[in-house]
Amino acid sequence: MKRLTSRLGAALLVLAAEPAAAQHYSGYAEARSYGYFAKANERDPAAIAWGTILVKGEAALGARGRFVSSLRLEGISSDEAGPLEFDPADRALRRTPLTLRELYVRLPLRSGLDLQAGRFELGWGKTDGYSPADAFLPRDLSDPFADEKLPLWGARLQGQRAGLRWELYATAPATPWRMPVLEGRYAPVPIARVILVDGTSNPPHAGFAAGRLLLTHGDWDLGLWARGGERPAPLLAFRRDQVYPVDVGYAVPTDRRYVRESGAGFEVAKVQGAWVLRGELGALYSGDAELGSALLVTAGLERGVGNAIFIATLAVNLRDTPIDPALLFDRAFLPGLIAAWTQSASWGSVKLAWTGAFKHGDGLLKIDVVDHLNDRWSLNAGGDLPYGSELGPLGVLGDARRARLALRRSW
Protein backbone atom coordinates (compact mmCIF):
# COMPACT_ATOMS: atom_id res chain seq x y z
CA MET A 1 0.00 0.00 0.00
CA LYS A 2 2.87 2.39 0.79
CA ARG A 3 4.41 1.72 -2.63
CA LEU A 4 1.04 2.26 -4.31
CA THR A 5 0.56 5.56 -2.47
CA SER A 6 3.98 6.83 -3.52
CA ARG A 7 3.32 5.90 -7.14
CA LEU A 8 -0.03 7.66 -7.05
CA GLY A 9 1.57 10.78 -5.58
CA ALA A 10 4.23 10.78 -8.29
CA ALA A 11 1.58 10.39 -11.00
CA LEU A 12 -0.39 13.34 -9.64
CA LEU A 13 2.74 15.52 -9.60
CA VAL A 14 3.49 14.67 -13.23
CA LEU A 15 -0.10 15.36 -14.28
CA ALA A 16 -0.16 18.66 -12.45
CA ALA A 17 2.99 19.75 -14.26
CA GLU A 18 1.58 18.91 -17.71
CA PRO A 19 -0.94 21.24 -19.40
CA ALA A 20 -4.34 19.60 -19.67
CA ALA A 21 -5.92 19.28 -23.09
CA ALA A 22 -8.86 21.50 -23.95
CA GLN A 23 -11.97 20.67 -22.02
CA HIS A 24 -14.96 19.15 -23.78
CA TYR A 25 -18.48 20.06 -22.73
CA SER A 26 -21.72 18.26 -23.47
CA GLY A 27 -25.19 17.97 -22.03
CA TYR A 28 -28.84 18.60 -22.71
CA ALA A 29 -31.91 20.56 -21.70
CA GLU A 30 -35.21 18.69 -21.61
CA ALA A 31 -38.82 19.58 -20.93
CA ARG A 32 -41.13 16.64 -20.08
CA SER A 33 -44.80 16.38 -19.32
CA TYR A 34 -46.78 13.44 -17.94
CA GLY A 35 -50.52 12.94 -18.14
CA TYR A 36 -52.14 10.30 -15.89
CA PHE A 37 -55.24 8.23 -16.56
CA ALA A 38 -56.32 7.90 -12.90
CA LYS A 39 -55.66 9.09 -9.35
CA ALA A 40 -54.90 7.03 -6.25
CA ASN A 41 -56.38 9.86 -4.16
CA GLU A 42 -57.38 13.49 -4.56
CA ARG A 43 -53.88 14.69 -3.75
CA ASP A 44 -52.41 13.13 -6.90
CA PRO A 45 -52.05 15.64 -9.78
CA ALA A 46 -53.62 14.79 -13.13
CA ALA A 47 -50.46 15.98 -14.92
CA ILE A 48 -46.95 17.09 -13.99
CA ALA A 49 -44.13 18.99 -15.69
CA TRP A 50 -40.47 18.04 -15.34
CA GLY A 51 -37.58 20.17 -16.57
CA THR A 52 -33.93 19.05 -16.60
CA ILE A 53 -30.63 20.67 -17.54
CA LEU A 54 -27.48 18.55 -17.42
CA VAL A 55 -23.98 19.87 -18.13
CA LYS A 56 -20.98 17.56 -18.39
CA GLY A 57 -17.31 18.49 -18.71
CA GLU A 58 -14.38 16.25 -19.56
CA ALA A 59 -10.67 17.03 -19.69
CA ALA A 60 -7.52 15.03 -20.28
CA LEU A 61 -4.96 14.77 -17.48
CA GLY A 62 -1.58 14.05 -18.95
CA ALA A 63 -1.34 11.42 -21.66
CA ARG A 64 -3.91 8.91 -20.36
CA GLY A 65 -5.63 10.42 -17.32
CA ARG A 66 -9.11 11.89 -17.38
CA PHE A 67 -11.21 14.26 -15.28
CA VAL A 68 -15.02 14.16 -15.56
CA SER A 69 -17.70 16.23 -13.85
CA SER A 70 -21.42 16.74 -14.42
CA LEU A 71 -24.15 18.77 -12.76
CA ARG A 72 -27.91 18.38 -13.07
CA LEU A 73 -30.56 21.04 -12.41
CA GLU A 74 -34.20 19.95 -12.17
CA GLY A 75 -37.61 21.45 -11.63
CA ILE A 76 -40.56 19.17 -10.88
CA SER A 77 -44.15 20.31 -10.35
CA SER A 78 -44.96 17.50 -7.90
CA ASP A 79 -43.86 16.07 -4.55
CA GLU A 80 -40.98 14.16 -6.17
CA ALA A 81 -39.01 17.40 -5.78
CA GLY A 82 -37.32 18.17 -2.48
CA PRO A 83 -35.86 21.40 -1.09
CA LEU A 84 -32.67 22.92 -2.44
CA GLU A 85 -29.96 21.61 -0.12
CA PHE A 86 -26.35 20.46 -0.17
CA ASP A 87 -26.68 16.69 -0.56
CA PRO A 88 -23.56 15.45 -2.40
CA ALA A 89 -24.19 11.77 -1.57
CA ASP A 90 -27.91 11.76 -2.52
CA ARG A 91 -29.02 10.63 0.95
CA ALA A 92 -32.09 12.89 1.21
CA LEU A 93 -35.62 11.50 0.91
CA ARG A 94 -36.44 13.70 -2.11
CA ARG A 95 -34.53 14.76 -5.21
CA THR A 96 -32.78 18.04 -4.54
CA PRO A 97 -33.10 20.44 -7.53
CA LEU A 98 -29.31 20.66 -7.91
CA THR A 99 -27.38 17.38 -8.07
CA LEU A 100 -23.70 16.62 -8.52
CA ARG A 101 -23.88 13.59 -10.80
CA GLU A 102 -20.17 12.98 -11.51
CA LEU A 103 -16.89 14.26 -10.15
CA TYR A 104 -14.00 11.85 -10.63
CA VAL A 105 -10.51 11.37 -11.96
CA ARG A 106 -9.20 8.31 -13.74
CA LEU A 107 -5.43 7.89 -13.54
CA PRO A 108 -3.05 5.29 -14.98
CA LEU A 109 -0.75 4.04 -12.22
CA ARG A 110 1.27 1.89 -14.61
CA SER A 111 0.63 -0.22 -17.70
CA GLY A 112 -2.54 -2.25 -17.19
CA LEU A 113 -3.43 -0.63 -13.83
CA ASP A 114 -5.85 2.30 -13.43
CA LEU A 115 -7.34 4.14 -10.47
CA GLN A 116 -10.73 5.85 -10.61
CA ALA A 117 -11.76 7.95 -7.61
CA GLY A 118 -14.61 10.34 -6.86
CA ARG A 119 -18.32 10.20 -7.66
CA PHE A 120 -19.31 7.95 -10.55
CA GLU A 121 -21.82 5.31 -11.58
CA LEU A 122 -20.95 1.64 -11.19
CA GLY A 123 -22.19 -1.16 -13.44
CA TRP A 124 -21.22 -4.81 -13.29
CA GLY A 125 -24.18 -6.75 -14.63
CA LYS A 126 -24.01 -9.12 -17.57
CA THR A 127 -27.78 -9.60 -18.02
CA ASP A 128 -29.85 -6.62 -19.17
CA GLY A 129 -32.75 -5.19 -17.17
CA TYR A 130 -31.97 -7.16 -14.01
CA SER A 131 -28.65 -8.45 -12.71
CA PRO A 132 -27.64 -10.00 -9.35
CA ALA A 133 -24.28 -8.20 -9.69
CA ASP A 134 -26.03 -4.81 -10.02
CA ALA A 135 -29.14 -5.35 -7.91
CA PHE A 136 -27.52 -4.00 -4.74
CA LEU A 137 -26.60 -0.67 -6.37
CA PRO A 138 -28.77 2.27 -5.25
CA ARG A 139 -31.52 3.46 -7.57
CA ASP A 140 -33.73 6.51 -7.70
CA LEU A 141 -37.35 5.36 -7.71
CA SER A 142 -38.88 8.80 -7.17
CA ASP A 143 -39.89 8.15 -10.78
CA PRO A 144 -40.28 4.35 -10.51
CA PHE A 145 -40.65 3.73 -14.24
CA ALA A 146 -37.35 5.48 -15.05
CA ASP A 147 -35.31 3.21 -12.75
CA GLU A 148 -32.30 5.51 -12.62
CA LYS A 149 -29.05 4.42 -10.97
CA LEU A 150 -27.51 6.73 -8.38
CA PRO A 151 -23.79 7.47 -8.65
CA LEU A 152 -21.61 6.70 -5.63
CA TRP A 153 -18.60 8.25 -3.93
CA GLY A 154 -15.88 5.64 -4.04
CA ALA A 155 -12.63 4.37 -5.49
CA ARG A 156 -12.04 1.65 -8.06
CA LEU A 157 -8.75 -0.06 -8.88
CA GLN A 158 -8.72 -1.92 -12.22
CA GLY A 159 -6.02 -4.13 -13.66
CA GLN A 160 -5.62 -6.18 -16.82
CA ARG A 161 -3.16 -8.69 -18.23
CA ALA A 162 -4.01 -10.32 -21.54
CA GLY A 163 -7.56 -11.71 -21.25
CA LEU A 164 -7.63 -11.51 -17.43
CA ARG A 165 -9.11 -8.44 -15.73
CA TRP A 166 -9.71 -7.64 -12.07
CA GLU A 167 -11.42 -4.86 -10.16
CA LEU A 168 -11.62 -3.69 -6.53
CA TYR A 169 -14.22 -1.15 -5.41
CA ALA A 170 -15.14 0.54 -2.12
CA THR A 171 -17.68 3.26 -1.31
CA ALA A 172 -18.65 5.38 1.70
CA PRO A 173 -20.87 6.85 2.89
CA ALA A 174 -23.76 4.61 1.90
CA THR A 175 -26.23 6.05 -0.61
CA PRO A 176 -29.71 4.59 -0.05
CA TRP A 177 -32.31 3.80 -2.67
CA ARG A 178 -34.59 6.80 -3.10
CA MET A 179 -38.17 5.62 -2.64
CA PRO A 180 -41.22 7.13 -4.40
CA VAL A 181 -43.47 9.54 -2.58
CA LEU A 182 -45.28 7.25 -0.14
CA GLU A 183 -48.69 8.89 -0.02
CA GLY A 184 -49.37 8.99 -3.76
CA ARG A 185 -50.00 6.84 -6.80
CA TYR A 186 -46.43 5.49 -6.84
CA ALA A 187 -46.74 3.78 -3.43
CA PRO A 188 -50.37 2.74 -3.01
CA VAL A 189 -51.69 0.44 -0.33
CA PRO A 190 -54.28 -2.10 -1.56
CA ILE A 191 -56.54 -1.17 1.37
CA ALA A 192 -59.23 1.46 0.91
CA ARG A 193 -58.65 4.85 2.61
CA VAL A 194 -55.17 3.89 3.88
CA ILE A 195 -52.01 5.72 2.81
CA LEU A 196 -48.36 5.60 3.84
CA VAL A 197 -46.42 8.65 4.99
CA ASP A 198 -42.71 9.14 5.57
CA GLY A 199 -41.36 8.19 8.97
CA THR A 200 -37.67 8.12 9.85
CA SER A 201 -34.80 7.23 7.53
CA ASN A 202 -31.29 6.97 8.95
CA PRO A 203 -29.09 5.49 6.23
CA PRO A 204 -25.76 4.08 7.45
CA HIS A 205 -22.44 5.75 6.73
CA ALA A 206 -20.22 2.70 6.27
CA GLY A 207 -21.01 1.77 2.64
CA PHE A 208 -19.74 -1.48 1.07
CA ALA A 209 -16.74 -3.05 -0.66
CA ALA A 210 -16.67 -5.37 -3.65
CA GLY A 211 -14.31 -7.12 -6.02
CA ARG A 212 -14.50 -9.17 -9.20
CA LEU A 213 -12.36 -11.18 -11.58
CA LEU A 214 -13.09 -11.40 -15.34
CA LEU A 215 -11.66 -13.70 -17.99
CA THR A 216 -12.15 -13.59 -21.77
CA HIS A 217 -11.36 -16.78 -23.65
CA GLY A 218 -12.44 -17.01 -27.27
CA ASP A 219 -16.18 -16.42 -27.46
CA TRP A 220 -16.58 -16.79 -23.69
CA ASP A 221 -16.61 -14.11 -20.97
CA LEU A 222 -16.46 -15.45 -17.40
CA GLY A 223 -16.58 -13.58 -14.12
CA LEU A 224 -16.60 -13.96 -10.33
CA TRP A 225 -17.62 -11.23 -7.87
CA ALA A 226 -18.08 -10.77 -4.14
CA ARG A 227 -19.25 -7.89 -1.95
CA GLY A 228 -20.09 -7.11 1.66
CA GLY A 229 -21.38 -4.17 3.67
CA GLU A 230 -24.50 -2.08 4.01
CA ARG A 231 -27.49 -2.86 1.80
CA PRO A 232 -28.71 0.34 0.04
CA ALA A 233 -32.29 -0.90 -0.46
CA PRO A 234 -34.24 -0.32 2.77
CA LEU A 235 -36.71 -2.49 4.61
CA LEU A 236 -39.98 -0.81 5.55
CA ALA A 237 -41.23 -0.76 9.13
CA PHE A 238 -44.88 0.23 9.55
CA ARG A 239 -45.85 2.02 12.77
CA ARG A 240 -49.30 0.51 13.17
CA ASP A 241 -49.56 1.87 16.70
CA GLN A 242 -49.22 5.45 15.40
CA VAL A 243 -51.92 5.48 12.71
CA TYR A 244 -53.74 8.81 12.52
CA PRO A 245 -56.69 10.18 10.49
CA VAL A 246 -56.18 12.40 7.41
CA ASP A 247 -58.58 13.90 4.87
CA VAL A 248 -58.40 10.80 2.60
CA GLY A 249 -58.66 8.21 5.37
CA TYR A 250 -55.86 6.98 7.65
CA ALA A 251 -52.10 7.49 7.45
CA VAL A 252 -49.52 4.92 8.54
CA PRO A 253 -46.06 6.34 9.40
CA THR A 254 -43.44 4.21 7.65
CA ASP A 255 -39.79 4.04 8.70
CA ARG A 256 -36.91 2.82 6.55
CA ARG A 257 -34.27 0.64 8.15
CA TYR A 258 -31.03 -0.67 6.71
CA VAL A 259 -29.16 -3.92 7.26
CA ARG A 260 -25.86 -5.48 6.31
CA GLU A 261 -25.70 -8.03 3.51
CA SER A 262 -22.92 -10.02 1.86
CA GLY A 263 -22.87 -12.02 -1.34
CA ALA A 264 -20.92 -13.65 -4.15
CA GLY A 265 -21.74 -14.52 -7.72
CA PHE A 266 -20.74 -16.01 -11.05
CA GLU A 267 -21.42 -14.59 -14.52
CA VAL A 268 -20.96 -15.92 -18.03
CA ALA A 269 -21.54 -14.61 -21.55
CA LYS A 270 -20.99 -16.28 -24.93
CA VAL A 271 -21.41 -15.34 -28.57
CA GLN A 272 -23.27 -18.14 -30.33
CA GLY A 273 -23.75 -17.33 -33.98
CA ALA A 274 -26.11 -14.34 -34.22
CA TRP A 275 -27.02 -14.64 -30.52
CA VAL A 276 -25.35 -13.33 -27.38
CA LEU A 277 -26.15 -15.56 -24.41
CA ARG A 278 -25.70 -14.36 -20.82
CA GLY A 279 -26.22 -15.82 -17.37
CA GLU A 280 -25.62 -14.91 -13.75
CA LEU A 281 -25.93 -16.54 -10.35
CA GLY A 282 -25.76 -14.62 -7.08
CA ALA A 283 -25.94 -15.94 -3.51
CA LEU A 284 -26.77 -13.29 -0.90
CA TYR A 285 -26.77 -13.65 2.88
CA SER A 286 -28.11 -11.53 5.69
CA GLY A 287 -28.67 -12.34 9.33
CA ASP A 288 -31.78 -10.14 9.35
CA ALA A 289 -34.97 -12.11 10.05
CA GLU A 290 -37.05 -10.18 7.49
CA LEU A 291 -34.51 -9.95 4.67
CA GLY A 292 -33.15 -13.48 4.93
CA SER A 293 -31.02 -14.94 2.14
CA ALA A 294 -31.42 -15.12 -1.63
CA LEU A 295 -30.20 -17.28 -4.50
CA LEU A 296 -30.68 -15.20 -7.64
CA VAL A 297 -30.43 -16.71 -11.13
CA THR A 298 -30.76 -14.85 -14.43
CA ALA A 299 -30.57 -16.04 -18.03
CA GLY A 300 -30.53 -13.61 -20.93
CA LEU A 301 -30.22 -13.52 -24.68
CA GLU A 302 -29.72 -10.82 -27.28
CA ARG A 303 -29.94 -10.80 -31.07
CA GLY A 304 -29.63 -8.14 -33.70
CA VAL A 305 -31.97 -8.32 -36.70
CA GLY A 306 -31.15 -5.64 -39.26
CA ASN A 307 -31.55 -2.33 -37.47
CA ALA A 308 -33.38 -3.94 -34.55
CA ILE A 309 -32.19 -5.52 -31.31
CA PHE A 310 -34.15 -8.03 -29.25
CA ILE A 311 -33.21 -8.64 -25.59
CA ALA A 312 -34.83 -10.93 -23.05
CA THR A 313 -33.92 -11.71 -19.43
CA LEU A 314 -35.45 -14.29 -17.11
CA ALA A 315 -34.82 -13.69 -13.39
CA VAL A 316 -35.67 -15.99 -10.46
CA ASN A 317 -35.00 -16.10 -6.72
CA LEU A 318 -34.67 -19.76 -5.72
CA ARG A 319 -35.07 -18.98 -2.01
CA ASP A 320 -38.31 -18.04 -0.30
CA THR A 321 -38.31 -14.57 1.27
CA PRO A 322 -39.54 -14.12 4.87
CA ILE A 323 -41.61 -11.10 3.76
CA ASP A 324 -43.46 -10.13 0.57
CA PRO A 325 -40.79 -9.66 -2.18
CA ALA A 326 -42.58 -6.45 -3.19
CA LEU A 327 -41.17 -4.85 -0.03
CA LEU A 328 -37.57 -5.70 -1.01
CA PHE A 329 -37.47 -3.37 -4.08
CA ASP A 330 -34.46 -4.99 -5.73
CA ARG A 331 -36.28 -8.36 -5.88
CA ALA A 332 -39.83 -7.01 -6.14
CA PHE A 333 -40.91 -8.57 -9.46
CA LEU A 334 -39.15 -11.94 -9.05
CA PRO A 335 -39.75 -14.40 -10.58
CA GLY A 336 -40.21 -12.47 -13.79
CA LEU A 337 -39.27 -11.85 -17.39
CA ILE A 338 -38.03 -8.70 -19.12
CA ALA A 339 -38.22 -8.42 -22.93
CA ALA A 340 -37.35 -5.43 -25.10
CA TRP A 341 -37.38 -4.69 -28.84
CA THR A 342 -35.56 -1.62 -30.17
CA GLN A 343 -35.89 -0.61 -33.83
CA SER A 344 -33.61 2.09 -35.23
CA ALA A 345 -34.44 4.16 -38.30
CA SER A 346 -33.04 7.16 -40.12
CA TRP A 347 -35.53 9.42 -38.31
CA GLY A 348 -35.10 7.98 -34.80
CA SER A 349 -36.08 4.83 -32.91
CA VAL A 350 -38.96 2.83 -31.44
CA LYS A 351 -38.64 0.74 -28.28
CA LEU A 352 -41.13 -1.65 -26.71
CA ALA A 353 -40.28 -3.12 -23.31
CA TRP A 354 -42.32 -5.53 -21.23
CA THR A 355 -41.75 -6.68 -17.66
CA GLY A 356 -43.87 -9.56 -16.42
CA ALA A 357 -44.06 -10.70 -12.79
CA PHE A 358 -45.14 -14.34 -12.59
CA LYS A 359 -46.35 -14.62 -9.00
CA HIS A 360 -49.49 -12.49 -9.47
CA GLY A 361 -49.56 -12.24 -13.27
CA ASP A 362 -49.03 -8.46 -13.31
CA GLY A 363 -46.67 -6.49 -15.51
CA LEU A 364 -45.52 -3.26 -17.09
CA LEU A 365 -45.53 -2.25 -20.76
CA LYS A 366 -43.32 0.67 -21.80
CA ILE A 367 -43.42 2.40 -25.19
CA ASP A 368 -40.82 4.93 -26.40
CA VAL A 369 -40.76 6.68 -29.77
CA VAL A 370 -37.86 9.09 -30.42
CA ASP A 371 -37.86 11.42 -33.42
CA HIS A 372 -34.50 13.07 -34.13
CA LEU A 373 -35.72 16.35 -35.55
CA ASN A 374 -32.12 17.31 -36.38
CA ASP A 375 -28.62 16.91 -34.88
CA ARG A 376 -29.59 18.91 -31.77
CA TRP A 377 -33.31 18.48 -31.19
CA SER A 378 -35.29 15.32 -30.46
CA LEU A 379 -38.90 14.60 -29.56
CA ASN A 380 -39.82 11.65 -27.33
CA ALA A 381 -43.33 10.28 -26.89
CA GLY A 382 -44.48 7.19 -25.07
CA GLY A 383 -46.29 5.66 -22.17
CA ASP A 384 -45.88 3.52 -19.05
CA LEU A 385 -48.74 1.07 -18.58
CA PRO A 386 -48.71 -1.15 -15.46
CA TYR A 387 -51.47 -3.76 -15.39
CA GLY A 388 -52.76 -6.77 -13.51
CA SER A 389 -53.43 -7.79 -9.92
CA GLU A 390 -53.19 -5.13 -7.21
CA LEU A 391 -51.37 -7.73 -5.10
CA GLY A 392 -48.39 -7.61 -7.48
CA PRO A 393 -45.55 -5.04 -7.37
CA LEU A 394 -46.41 -3.76 -10.87
CA GLY A 395 -50.18 -4.18 -10.93
CA VAL A 396 -50.54 -2.18 -7.71
CA LEU A 397 -49.32 0.84 -9.71
CA GLY A 398 -52.43 0.82 -11.90
CA ASP A 399 -53.28 4.42 -10.97
CA ALA A 400 -49.84 5.48 -12.25
CA ARG A 401 -50.58 4.68 -15.90
CA ARG A 402 -49.39 7.64 -17.89
CA ALA A 403 -48.54 9.11 -21.26
CA ARG A 404 -45.45 11.27 -21.67
CA LEU A 405 -44.01 13.78 -24.09
CA ALA A 406 -40.51 15.28 -23.99
CA LEU A 407 -38.52 17.76 -26.07
CA ARG A 408 -34.72 17.67 -25.74
CA ARG A 409 -31.97 19.99 -26.94
CA SER A 410 -28.51 18.39 -26.84
CA TRP A 411 -25.10 19.96 -27.22
Predicted confidence band of residue 49 (pLDDT cuts 50, 70, 90):
very high
DSSP 230: E
pLDDT of residue 18 exceeding 50, the answer is no
Half-sphere exposure of 188 (CA within 13 A, CB side): 25
On average, the pLDDT of the chain sits at 89
Exposed / middle / buried, residue 376 (Cβ in 10 Å: 0-12, 13-18, 19+): exposed
Residue 208 lies in a domain: yes
Please state, as a whole number, how many other Cβ atoms lie within 10 Å of the Cβ of residue 297.
Answer: 19
CA–CA–CA angle 327, 296, 287 (5° rounding)? 60
Least confident of 142-151, 282-291, 374-383: 142-151
pLDDT of residue 10 exceeding 50, the answer is no
Predicted confidence band of residue 3 (pLDDT cuts 50, 70, 90):
very low
Residue 16 lies in a domain: no
pLDDT of residue 325 exceeding 90, the answer is no
Distances (CA, A) of 110 to 12, 21, 193, 205: 13, 21, 62, 32
Report the distance separating Cα 290 and Cα 279, nearest Å: 28
Residue 17 lies in a domain: no
Residue 144 lies in a domain: yes
Number of domains in the chain: 1
Report the distance separating Cα 96 and Cα 72, nearest Å: 10
Domain containing residue 106: CATH number: 2.40.160.100
Least confident of 45-49, 119-123, 185-189: 185-189
Distances (CA, A) of 246 to 182, 193, 234, 242, 306: 14, 9, 26, 13, 56
Q: What is the pLDDT of residue 4?
A: 35
Residue 59 lies in a domain: yes
Q: Measured in whole angstroms, how far is the alpha carbon of residue 202 from the centre of its chain?
A: 21
Residue 274 lies in a domain: yes
Dump pLDDT digits (tens) for 195-253: 888 888 889 999 999 999 999 998 899 999 999 999 999 998 889 889 999 887 888 99
Residue 5 lies in a domain: no
For 111, the 3-state DSSP assignment is coil
The answer to whether the beta carbons of residues 389 and 362 sit under 8 Å apart is yes
- 356 forms beta bridges with 337, 363
Residue 14 lies in a domain: no
Domain membership of residue 184 as a residue range: 24-410
Helix, strand, coil percentages (3-state) for the chain, rounded to 5, are 5, 55, 40
End-to-end C-alpha distance for the chain, whole angstroms: 42
Predicted confidence band of residue 377 (pLDDT cuts 50, 70, 90):
very high
